[in-house]
Structure 1
Amino acid sequence: MTVPVPSAAPDGAPERPAPVLVGCSHGTDSDAGRAAIRSILTDVARVRPDLDVREAFVDVQQPEVADVVADVLPHAPAVVVPLLLSVGFHTRVDVAAAVDRPGAAASVPLGPDPRLVAILADRLAEAGLADADAVVLAAAGSSDPAAADAVRAAAAGLEEHLGRPVHVGFGAGAHPRVPVAVAEARGTLAQDGRVVVASYLLAPGYFLDRVLEAGADVVSAPLAPDHRLADVVLDRYAGSRAAASAAWEPSAGSSPAVAGPPARA
């Protein structure tokens, strides 16, 4: 994990505050999903207690990411880290609009990343993956071709890690859909093999429910909670904090941002 050292302020100038880390997820009605996402930011705050870590959403839950960024900017720069596994509508539209102001920047999403592949492999091991089993990587999906490419990159990484083929299925937006990928994988099985789905999802919620209905024999748990996700988030933050700081100017009469708990729903 790389954490850059802030540049020194000019002589006589007040020290510039570190950018606030805004962890922005999709939002969900699932209590388990909310807890899993919040665990990521709780881990981030534990690893970096010096940072102000905020929670924001693009749908379903409050506060909206644009409102959180607007609340932060009078007092400090803001870096929005999309708690998403690939680019797509929400990164290109909602998050991009939220940071379209001086002092705000957005990082790339969490995936693809080798650490996510390692978590996927661990989840499959926990689910009892056997040599005779076929693997399907199941992702939420998006109509954005770059999102599908990112998922296929994750599948390629998992193939290399496992040393076996990995089929890919999407919950929406792209093809093949998860039930089709499961059926295709089943056609490759030896007599005693099973179809095991690797859930390329951060948390329980709508898409995990759809994966559970897709006809697989075994479905692995989502990626969160896992302490390694905090390292990925902090690396994404580190890659964008300089851009946010360079363009930020404090509002007249503003006071420093006060760090709070990572979730402010």
Structure 2
Amino acid sequence: MRLVVVAHGTRQLLGNAVASIIAKRAGRVLVMESRAAYVELCEPLLTDVLADRQPSVVVPLLLSSGYHIKVDLPQAAEGLPVAMGRALGPDGLLATAQVSRLVAAGASPGQPVVLVAAGSNDPSARADLAGAGLLLEAVWGGTVRVATVSGSGAPPIAEVVRPGDAVSPYLLAPGFFSDLVRSRSTAAGAEIVADVIGPHPDVVELVVRRASTLLGDADLTRSQVG
């Protein structure tokens, strides 16, 4: 049995390293073999990792539901001894990791925060994003507004970020979208732009919890998607 974490993938090596770090740390806690895989833009692809038909629990490192969760990942696992997890977010552990990044960047308790995600037209992804904003607001203890890079699922950065705001990227790894979040937020007057969530200990803990649930529930004689 092994753990496979699957990220979207980016053309930036530093961004892809996040999934590898999370896989290694979670595997160490679970005392099991672990691997990182990607949906696109980086190797190894999930389809290639699962091609050996080794029984696996797969934890997506995708923060919201959407096409990859609903279509790509189930197709990759079809007919294989795989237990597939749901999207990683929204979750309180992601919110606490975001707070940690905000504090590290110099944000003050109670300072207005804008959570910025990539954006999606999928209705379930929009609901996930709204939920992530509420969770962050509860942990941060101050006003949290939500924006997206694309303007899909929430207004664009330029319409939400105000001078003096702190910005919390709702992104797991650095890459194209994190660069846009920083540049557009700064242009809109943001005082602070925190780092991406990254391989924070709370993210590792969340992956461990998801994998443990899958291990407890899995009947790996067939493909499971849940």
- Is the TM-score greater than 0.5? yes
In structure 2, the residue matched to 1:256 is none
Letter of the aligned partner of 1:199 in structure 2? P
Q: Secondary structure at the match of 1:159?
A: helix
In structure 2, the residue matched to 1:191 is none
| CA deviation string 1:152-182 (max 9, x = no partner) | 1111011112222111011233231222221
In structure 2, the residue matched to 1:47 is 29
Letter of the aligned partner of 1:240 in structure 2? L
Which residues of structure 1 form unaligned runs of 5+? 1-18, 187-193, 250-265
Q: Within the alignment, does 1:208 sit opposite 2:175 as a pair?
A: no
Say how many residue pairs are matched.
218
Q: Matched residues in 2 for 1:123 and 1:58: separation?
A: 26
**TM-score of the pair, normalised by structure 2:** 0.89
Q: Matched residues in 1 for 2:110 and 2:64: separation?
A: 30
Q: Within the alignment, does 1:218 sit opposite 2:192 as a pair?
A: yes
Larger Rg: 1
Kindly indicate whether the alpha-carbon contact (under 8 Å) linking 2:109 and 2:140 is maintained by their aligned counterparts in 1: no
In structure 2, the residue matched to 1:181 is 160
In structure 2, the residue matched to 1:78 is 56
Choose between structure 1 and 2 for higher RCO, CA contacts under 8 A separated by at least 6 residues: 1
In structure 1, the residue matched to 2:42 is 61
Kindly indicate whether the alpha-carbon contact (under 8 Å) linking 1:77 and 1:248 is maintained by their aligned counterparts in 2: no
Letter of the aligned partner of 1:78 in structure 2? S
Give the structure with the larger helix fraction. Answer: 2
Letter of the aligned partner of 2:146 in structure 1? V
In structure 2, the residue matched to 1:154 is 132
Q: Matched residues in 2 for 1:143 and 1:201: separation?
A: 17
Shift of 1:132: 7.1
- 199, 213, 226: which one pairs with 1:239? 213
In structure 1, the residue matched to 2:16 is 34
Q: Secondary structure at the match of 2:173?
A: coil
Q: Matched residues in 1 for 2:80 and 2:110: separation?
A: 54
| CA deviation string 1:44-82 (max 9, x = no partner) | 122123x121211111011211221121x2xx3222111
Kindly indicate whether the alpha-carbon contact (under 8 Å) linking 1:24 and 1:55 is maintained by their aligned counterparts in 2: yes
1:66/1:244 CA distance change after superposition, 3 Å: farther
Q: Secondary structure at the match of 2:89?
A: coil
Q: Matched residues in 2 for 1:243 and 1:54: separation?
A: 21
Q: Matched residues in 1 for 2:140 and 2:58: separation?
A: 33
Q: RMSD of the TM alignment (CA)? A: 1.9
Map of 1:4-153 to 2, 5 A cutoff? 19-49=1-31, 51-71=32-52, 73=53, 76-130=54-108, 133-153=111-131
Kindly indicate whether the alpha-carbon contact (under 8 Å) linking 1:109 and 1:236 is maintained by their aligned counterparts in 2: no
Q: Matched residues in 2 for 1:48 and 1:104: separation?
A: 17
Q: Matched residues in 2 for 1:32 and 1:45: separation?
A: 20
**TM-score of the pair, normalised by structure 1:** 0.76
Which residues of structure 2 form unaligned runs of 5+? none
| Matched-pair identity in % | 35
Shift of 1:90: 0.9
Shift of 1:248: 4.8
